[in-house]
Structure 1
């Protein structure tokens, strides 16, 4: 039983590396886990479907955020940003990558649209990337950094949700901690991501690289519409008001769906987007974010199979049985188990409660402090977002960078982000658990 998680994650990883569709790869991994746990094929599928509801809220929020992002782009305010980036950063590869990491970071806190901005902002820049011979793997790394690092380290916006989940999960399993303490505990692991970003931008992907048509399986004859000239006006001001209102409501209610709905409704009430375009805005939002939302649903079903069959518990039991009281070894093994589990499920927010239920009792017995335990749990959760084929933090960048069929999800997004973020996260998280 203890090998179920390892084998099923390997199945998903190998299939993904062989360029099998990510949904098919997750389904195969889920069926493998079910069969190895003693379920038959029908029971495995039924359990997977029953567990898909675990990410229903996330999937709905992504679709609504997608519609909100489409409504924002309708006003032309994103064109102002694109024009600015083109005007100021043409020929400056390093600055372009740093700027994209910064813009992505804002999507977690200031403008809470998460990955929904990527399919709108990135495709118009693809031609410029090719002219500048920017390595798109570097762009993917920069975007994933912005989608992860802010919520890992800053308890605001999406980060407030992440840290709240950590606090509640740890309290539920017998360890009290505050949000301010979880935020402090994640500064060390988060700094590892900063190191990874700098290595990617200044060393790994600094050289010129030609994008290969068809590398991502998309349309090779993709044409990018010309970017218009847009000046800031009243509609853009009202759009900013809607964005700030969406952020305020999301922070107040800690609910992405309500926040996205608030922004979307205000866009219509302010007449920034005409009522007659409501159907088109929703349809475009679903079109843009629907695939990612469905991957998250399937990944949730996979996580349910691993959880309900006891596969994760068995893996933890075997891992902890021979650890003794060696803190460095315990921390290393827990992070290794966390990496395997969260890579398979692909959702840091969704796996924190599972990880906490397993980690907290072991950490209490071994004498880890609450902050050290938080560093282990938060790091293990974050490991599921970078490098995982099922993570929104990798699916999002690919959705924009592969608009012209020149960017492969696994080799150009997942592998680079795994190398540059999961490895330093693991190392810095391990160090953090020992010094806190």
Structure 2
């Protein structure tokens, strides 16, 4: 029975790495787990669907934040930001990379728009990058850092989703920990990411580099004249007010804070007339398009985790693993992080990975005597591992979508490989170390 969990996870990994969509990969892996456990396909699917409810709140949060992000972009406030960056930072290579990293950090917590800002912020800067001979791999690492490190470190916005998902995954498997304690447990792994960013910016990609033409141009400055006409107006002030309202409501609302916060921001944008109500259908459609896939991945992953748990596959794996690994925390941590790296590389979603790895990690670590803080460190680090470097991850696809707008940026060699080297390696080392000392 212990091989049921292993076989299903390997199935999911292989299918994901073969570029089968992650949703189908998880569903097929869930069917494999059910069939190997003696269930028929109909019962397996029923159990999968019943288990999907565990992440319904998180999925709804993603959809609402996607709609909010589309509304913010609609106002044109990001275009004003781009013009300011070009005016102030032209010629300052290192500074512009660090500023981009800072803006990306805001996209996860203070202004939770996720990757929606990249197609607006980055393409207008590409000519500036070429004039400065700026290595775009440095920009890719800066963007990926901003898309990952803040949600690991700060339990606000997408960070709140990440930490609450870890909390729910641990609680479902018998270990309880507060969101603030989970945030503290991930500070050391995040420090590893900071070091990786500094190495990329100041050492690895500091030299001049000519951008190579990889693909046909898919972006032109067709709207440059229109963009130049945009000035800071009352609606932009009201947009900032709506963002602040959403952030405050999120912070002071204990339960379902992210859903209520996102709703508050959306309603505020409409009430303030920052966006037209008649465009509501378009906002929802674009928001669902941007965030819907991630939300549904989390739902299906929750159902998969429920199958692994309810069939007894996890318990069998825990018993065999505990007997094989003993109580050597260093060895157990290393193996679990390696498994997390492979799973997240295959799935491409740190958020969607949590329900799966929590079902495996919590029983194994609890049996080996790990503290709750150490377990949270392992889950959070393992979920984030692979998110950088995965071809299917938003943390890599987002940066590439902006940097390859003129066809001079390769997704694998200019985004995935640099982010894998500079973030996964330090995350692994620092996460492994933190899980031992906590």
Picking from 210, 214, 217, the partner of 1:220 is 217
Alignment deviations for residues 372-415 of structure 1 (CA, whole Å, 9 cap, x no partner): 22211221122253223333322322333333444343333333
1:70-149 map, 5 Å: 70-149=70-149
Change (3 A) 1:315 1:237: same
Moved more, 306-315 or 270-279: 306-315
Render the CA deviation track for 1:149-194: whole Å, top value 9, x for unaligned: 1121122332233223333433443334333322222111110111
> CA RMSD, aligned part only?
3.4
- Of 112-121 and 204-213, deviating more is 204-213
CA distance in 2, matches of 1:426, 1:102: 23
CA contact (8 A) 1:235 1:272 kept: yes
Give the whole-Å Cα distance in 1 for the aligned partners of 2:414 and 2:58. 25
Alpha-carbon shift at residue 93 of structure 1 (Å): 1.8
* TM-score (norm. length: structure 2): 0.82
In the alignment, is the contact (CA less than 8 A) between 2:219 and 2:406 conserved in 1? Answer: yes
1:300 Cα deviation from its structure 2 partner: 5.6
The match for 1:254 is 256
Residue 195 of structure 1: how far off its partner (Å): 1.0
Contact in 2 for aligned 1:108/1:147 (Cα 8 Å)? yes
Q: Tell me the TM-score normalized by structure 1.
A: 0.83
Q: Secondary structure at the match of 1:322?
A: helix
Distance 1:182 1:426 in 2: 17
Partner of 1:18: none
- Aligned pairs (5 A) from 1:337-348: 337-348=339-350
Q: Which residue of 1 aligns with 2:152?
A: 152
Alpha-carbon separation, structure 2, partners of 1:187 and 1:223: 41
* Count of equivalent residues: 420
* Displacement after TM superposition at 1:52 (Å): 7.9
Q: Specify the alignment match of 1:332 in structure 2.
A: 334
Q: Classify the secondary structure of the residue corresponding to 2:228.
A: coil
Contact 1:33/1:306, CA 8 A, preserved across alignment: no
Is the Cα–Cα contact under 8 Å of residues 7 and 33 in structure 2 kept in the other structure?
Answer: no
Cα 1:70–1:30 change in 2 (3 A) is closer
Are residue 308 (structure 1) and residue 310 (structure 2) matched? Answer: no
* Aligned twin of 2:204: 204
Name the structure 2 match of 1:178. 178
**Matched ranges for 1:27-426 at <5 A:** 29-30=25-26, 33=29, 47=45, 61-215=61-215, 219-224=216-221, 225-226=223-224, 227-228=227-228, 230-251=230-251, 252=253, 253-286=255-288, 289=290, 293-294=292-293, 297=296, 301=300, 304=303, 308=307, 319-426=321-428
Q: Closer, same or farther in 2 for the Cα pair 1:284/1:337, shift >3 Å?
A: closer
Q: Whole-Å Cα distance in 1 between the matches of residues 133 and 318 of structure 2? A: 46
Q: Is this contact kept in 1: 2:170–2:358, CA < 8 A?
A: yes
Closer/same/farther in 2, CA of residues 151 and 294 from structure 1, 3 Å limit: closer
Relative to structure 1, is the Cα distance of residues 298 and 381 closer, same or farther in structure 2, using a 3 angstrom cutoff? closer
Q: Provide the secondary structure at the position in 2 that maps to 1:177.
A: coil
